[in-house]
A = this chain, B = another copy of it.
Amino acid sequence: MSDRITPRTLKGFRDYPPEKMIPREQLVEIARRVYRSFGFRPMDTPALEHLEILTGKGSDETDKQLYRFEDHGGRSVGLRFDLTVPLARFVAQHIQDLGTPFKRYQIANVWRGENTQRGRYREFMQCDFDTIGTTSTTADIETVLVINALLEAIGFEQFTIRVNNRQVLTGLLEKLDLVDQSTAVLRALDKLPKIGAEKVAAELTSTAGATPQQADAVLQLSELTGSNAEILAQLEPLVADNETGKRGLDQLTELTEAVAAAQVPAERLKLDLSIARGLDYYTGMVVETFLDELPGIGSVCSGGRYDNLAELYSKQRHPGVGASLGLDRLLAALEELDRLADIQTSAQVFLPLFIAKRRNDYLHLATQLRAAGLDVELYPEAKKLGKQLQYADRRGFQVAVIIGEDEFAANEAQLKNLTTGESQTVALDDEALALIAEIRPLLGS
């Protein structure tokens, strides 16, 4: 073959070799386990959708990034750019059969023709959970509990779940007669961390038509500080005489009490009236989650409550609440914090194939160890032991079971702890029970 094709991936796309895929798979499995433990159920939708489904709700920004083309039947199609739009379509189409509350999770890839100069990838995984079909604050509370359980299960202890409720600001804007300007107000407030209070105040007066006093009142809300109890106390007069604002305040109060009752350490939940999260999708609770050790990487799990998920596809209202785990950010964080074990193998026990004519004995032993729940890799070739142990070392196996001529003759095995280098001799009984019993403690099981 003379004209070989250069093996390469597309710009903005990545391969996942085992050392990248093993921690990824572990994280996804943890997420599944936690979602299930709260009764969230898996679902999936196609990668390709009718283009009109995808562009219907998208912003100009996502429209521009959409992978779109004509399929073999001349249909305009596109690759999903998030899991929310397909969920909305799915709910509009199937909710009659599904019933409510519909608690679901979906872990799947999405595609965006992003500018890769910003370090973004064009294919990445989203990991969403939602409760559809209920306006109950209990579902909001559970969203926070799931986030706490997720991060705990991944192994984090120091993180802060920052919570706001959009109704508080809406209430204040109603009182100030600025509710028609809420999009402009939110847009200005979103810039607070970047440009500071003074410039936001200027923008509030120039683009949202607020008086300087009104701009002050709005900024005062965003800048409330103190303990959760202090913030709730300061909110009280700000939303007095306004139903919407009071409802928001009540929900925040209920949330802090409920989260404590569910044994989440008090310091992990922080009311933060400055969190806005986008412009017009969320209508109630909004939540962001930061790792205390790495606040700079941004929120690792974000979401909130929405009034009407599927308005583009259904005349029925579908309220819900949910959040999305930032898988890639978390993996980057674990790597930066040096908490990603360098695991290159999926089995813990390495079995060198030492004497070629004894292959069937090795196969038999491997079967026995697997039947006892141990994961065993048998080297496929009878190479020199040193070479095989080098392979085991590079891969990070924990133990090796070495059986050469002498051991076969004496009916025993050398059990080698590859971490410490220590070896012990173990008798090989008919069912390898002694060996299994000695391996378990070396694996910490």
CB within 8 Å of B: which residues of A? 1, 4-11, 13-18, 21-22, 24-25, 32, 35-50, 52-53, 56, 65, 67-73, 75, 77, 79, 89-90, 92-94, 97-99, 101, 103-104, 109, 111, 113, 122-123, 131, 134, 136, 138-139, 141-142, 145, 149, 257-258, 261-263, 310-315, 344-347, 353, 359-361, 363-364, 366-367, 370, 374-381, 391, 394
Chain B residues near A37 (CB, 8 Å)? 347, 370, 374-376
Chain B residues near A65 (CB, 8 Å)? 72
Contact B346 A39 (CB under 8 A): yes
Q: Can you list 7 A-B pairs with a CB-CB distance of less than 8 A?
A: A9-B46, A11-B75, A37-B370, A39-B347, A41-B346, A71-B113, A261-B360
Among A11, A50, A101, A394, chain B packs the most CB atoms within 10 A around the CB of A50
Chain B residues near A14 (CB, 8 Å)? 46
Given contacts A38-B377, A39-B375, contact A111 B47 (CB under 8 A): yes
Chain B residues near A377 (CB, 8 Å)? 38-39, 103
Contact A18 B1 (CB under 8 A): no
Give A36 Cβ to nearest chain B Cβ, in Å.
Answer: 4
Contact B313 A6 (CB under 8 A): yes
Chain B residues near A47 (CB, 8 Å)? 47, 79, 109, 111, 123
Q: A7-B310, A9-B93 given. 9 additional CB < 8 A pairs?
A: A4-B314, A10-B50, A16-B42, A25-B32, A36-B375, A37-B347, A69-B70, A258-B360, A262-B360
Docked CA distance A278–B33 (Å): 40
Contact A314 B7 (CB under 8 A): yes
Chain B residues near A353 (CB, 8 Å)? 138
Contact B97 A347 (CB under 8 A): no
Given contacts A42-B346, A391-B99, contact A49 B123 (CB under 8 A): no
Give A389 Cβ to nearest chain B Cβ, in Å.
Answer: 14
Closest to A19 in B: B41
Give A263 Cβ to nearest chain B Cβ, in Å.
Answer: 5
Contact B48 A13 (CB under 8 A): yes
Docked CA distance A38–B17 (Å): 18
Docked CA distance A43–B21 (Å): 5
Q: Which one of B5, B111, B142 lies within 8 Å of A56 (CB-CB)?
A: B5
Docked CA distance A380–B315 (Å): 24
Contact A73 B11 (CB under 8 A): yes
Docked CA distance A364–B361 (Å): 54
Docked CA distance A44–B113 (Å): 20
Docked CA distance A75–B21 (Å): 27
Docked CA distance A145–B362 (Å): 13
Give A86 Cβ to nearest chain B Cβ, in Å.
Answer: 9
Contact A345 B45 (CB under 8 A): no
Among A40, A97, A361, chain B packs the most CB atoms within 10 A around the CB of A40
Chain B residues near A347 (CB, 8 Å)? 36-39
Docked CA distance A4–B308 (Å): 14
Among A16, A261, A363, A379, chain B packs the most CB atoms within 10 A around the CB of A363
Contact B25 A42 (CB under 8 A): yes
Closest to A347 in B: B39
Docked CA distance A159–B67 (Å): 43
Given contacts A4-B314, A7-B310, A381-B136, contact A262 B366 (CB under 8 A): yes
Give A307 Cβ to nearest chain B Cβ, in Å.
Answer: 13
Docked CA distance A363–B262 (Å): 5
Give A266 Cβ to nearest chain B Cβ, in Å.
Answer: 14
Give A103 Cβ to nearest chain B Cβ, in Å.
Answer: 7
Contact A380 B1 (CB under 8 A): no
Chain B residues near A366 (CB, 8 Å)? 262
Contact A93 B344 (CB under 8 A): no
8 closest A-B pairs by CB: A39-B377, A69-B69, A261-B360, A18-B41, A36-B346, A13-B46, A39-B347, A7-B92
Docked CA distance A363–B149 (Å): 13
Docked CA distance A376–B11 (Å): 44
Contact A149 B5 (CB under 8 A): no
